[in-house]
Structure 1
Amino acid sequence: MSYRPKDAVVSDGQGKETRAPGLLERVRECCRVRHYSLRTERAYVDWIRRFVMANGKRHPRDMGAVEVEAFLSRLATQDDVAASTQNQALSALLFLYREVLGIQLPWMESVVRAKRPQKIPTVLSRAEVTRLLALMDGQVALMASLLYGTGMRLMECVRLRVQDVGFDRNEICVRNGKGGKDRRVPLPRRLRERLLEQVERVRILHGQDLAAGAGEVFLPHALARKYPNAGREFCWQYVFPSPRESKDPRSGMTRRHHVDEGVLQRAVKVARDKAGIDKPASCHTLRHSFATHLLESGQDIRTVQELMGHKDVSTTQIYTHVLGRGANGVLSPLDH
């Protein structure tokens, strides 16, 4: 659904009339101007569509605090969504009024965000991680090992480019992580040879693509306009490419994208079940295990914070609860 007022007709100044972009088209344009990810764009468009449909297709300009609060309340009371989901809906509506419609509404600031409960993350023991990785093979095994060995997020791993793997310095540069930040993480020495072999496979595949007249990948932040040939350079290729080319949903160009993250997610789930691990373990659990095991080995929390890419150390401190290093885990000086 693309909401558009009936009278949304504009003139091009030469007597010709054209349709103005619909509301959702304008939302997409604003997201792309601000370099929002495709996932964020799709989430915002979906929430704004649901908000309009829930209010009889009325234009958001004709609605206010009553409709927004009622919509958010229904999400919590009727749909029973999580606090994070409700906050995402609120963020989408804030974006709609501020950035798309250009309306500064003071009442939007007073809308209360749902408080997210603080949960202790699921963490695997070292033995469980070993069993899990042993039941995987090929590319998915290498990717899962990287998640545990570096603490990268799932999408940071699948979006890894050849130029970001520093074999000479034994480190990986994670580009455009959460919050748009870059950071460096260690390249596990046990994965060095396997990563070198993976890069060589990518080199061969890229050569075949170039010979077929293809071989171009997506470049971020309009770099393709500044460097027209960079998209075909080997250094920009994904370390874990998709087995087939696909059409870019934004530009419409057919390129070789990175592998679908669902492939790794399904592989981890299958390996978890085979290993008999009775925990809701996922790809993100390997990241949690990375941080927890570092702290167990005596690594200081500030270093772990930097490796995880956490903005605040309080986020990293959640892993001290997993370790039991709170009040119950501290030996009183009197007991010495």
Structure 2
Amino acid sequence: MEEFRRFVAYDYGRLPELTKRHLSWYEDNRERDTAIVSLILGSGLRVNEVATLTLTDIDWDSKRVLVDRKGEKMQSVPFSIRSKLDLEEYMRIRNSRYQPLASETALFLTKGGKPMTKNAMQKMVNKYSHAYGKPLSVHKLRHTFGTQLYKTKKDLRLVQDILGHSDPKTTTLYTHIGNDEQNNAVDEMDSFE
């Protein structure tokens, strides 16, 4: 999924079919959109969790974000170094480009300096995924994070905790094993003869 993040960050703006208006919109929102995609891919946050983030929810030193999980429970969730870099790039331009009121604490903003909604984030990801040529949704990005985390750590409880699942059965969706992994595992059995 790093390829999709890179597409949002750099390649979308190079598409020859973009109109001047679409290119201008992309250039105005590139850092924000990259930060949103990167944060979901680097933390597994739900879209509503990202949409409700405030400036004070980010702990830059520990690379953690405080989110309001389902069931009205607050949880500190880690995010990746790549996400931190993309968030920092967005924060450098946030106030000058989006010009929020001094009282606006929402992390992600629209052109008018207002909080970006969950629906706007979903539409944004859908727009990029359509141009990317793969049907991706915000939930698919979250699922990708969960799957990659499980493949890396093989720790279902860790995945459950980071994704904020209350039911372990939900987390087992991220443990699916592909055909290649199955074939390799069976082939390795030949070495036990």
- Fold conserved between structures, TM > 0.5: yes
Q: Spell out, residue by residue over 1:161-190, the C-alpha distance to the aligned partner (whole angstroms, 9 max, x if none).
A: 11110011111111x211212222223212
1:179/1:131 CA distance change after superposition, 3 Å: same
Q: Give a deviation string over 1:190-239, Cα, whole Å, max 9, x none.
A: 232432343354456898624xxxx3x5xxxxxxxxxxxxxxxxxxx111
Question: Helix, strand or coil for the counterpart of 1:152?
Answer: coil
Per the alignment, residue 152 of structure 1 pairs with 45
2:125 counterpart letter in structure 1: V
Larger radius of gyration: 1
Structure 2 residue 139 is the aligned partner of structure 1 residue 284: yes
Is the 1:305–1:316 Cα contact (8 Å) retained in structure 2? Answer: yes
CA deviation profile, 1:302-330 (whole Å, cap 9, x unmatched): 11100000002111011112556999897
Given candidates 121, 126, 131, the residue that maps to 1:274 is: 131
| Whole-angstrom CA distance in 2 between matches of 1:128 and 1:292 | 16
Deviation at 1:159, TM superposition (A): 1.0
Contact 2:37/2:125 (<8 A) preserved: yes
Please tell me whether the aligned partners of residues 99 and 112 of structure 2 are also in contact (alpha carbons under 8 angstroms). no
Q: Where does the alignment leave 5 or more consecutive residues of structure 2 unmatched?
A: 13-29
Paired with 1:200 and 1:127, the residues of 2 have a C-alpha distance of: 22
2:153 maps to amino acid: G
- What is the CA–CA distance in structure 2 between the aligned matches of 1:288 and 1:152, rounded to whole Å? 10
Aligned residues: percent identity?
A: 28
Q: Does 1:184 align with 2:76?
A: yes
**Greater relative contact order: 1 or 2 (C-alpha under 8 angstroms, separation 6 or more)?**
2
- Equivalent residues of 1:148, 1:290 under 8 A apart: yes
Specify whether residues 292 and 209 from structure 1 end up closer, same or farther in structure 2 by C-alpha distance, changes over 3 A only.
same
Q: Secondary structure at the match of 2:165?
A: coil
* C-alpha spacing 1:203/1:271, structure 2 compared with 1 (3 Å): closer
What letter matches 2:73 in structure 1? Answer: K
Aligned equivalent of 2:19:
none
- 8 Å CA contact retained: 2:156, 2:172: yes
* Equivalent AA in structure 2 for residue 194 of structure 1: D
Structure 1: segments with no counterpart, 5+ residues: 1-125, 218-236, 246-255
Distance in 1 (CA, whole Å) between partners of 2:100 and 2:8 is 31
**TM-score of the two chains, using structure 1 as the length reference:** 0.44
User: Following superposition of structure 1 onto structure 2, how do residues 110-125 of structure 1 map, counting pairs within 5 Å?
Assistant: none
Q: Equivalent residue for 1:163?
A: 56
- What is residue 265 of structure 1 aligned with on the other side? 122
Deviation, structure 1 residue 291: 0.3
- Residue in 1 aligned with 2:20? none
Question: How far apart are the structure 2 equivalents of 1:262 and 1:150?
Answer: 20
Structure 1 vs Structure 2 CA RMSD? 3.3
Whether contact under 8 Å (1:296, 1:323) holds in the other structure is no
Instruction: Rate the CA distance shift 1:328–1:208 in 2: closer, same or farther, 3 A.
Output: closer
CA distance 1:325–1:305, change in 2 (3 Å): farther
Asked if 2 retains the 8 angstrom alpha-carbon contact of 1:151 and 1:287, the reply is yes
Report 1:1-336 matches (<5 A).
126=1, 129-130=4-5, 132-134=7-9, 135=11, 137-174=30-67, 176-202=68-94, 209-210=101-102, 215=103, 237-244=105-112, 256=114, 258-277=115-134, 280-321=135-176, 323=178, 336=192
Counterparts of 1:242 and 1:312, CA distance in 2:
35
Query: How many pairs does the alignment contain?
Result: 173
Is the 2:43–2:78 Cα contact (8 Å) retained in structure 1? Answer: yes
Q: Tell me if structure 1 keeps the 8 A contact 2:42–2:145.
A: yes
Q: Distance in 1 between matches of 2:106 and 2:89?
A: 14
Matched residues in 2 for 1:282 and 1:293: separation? 17
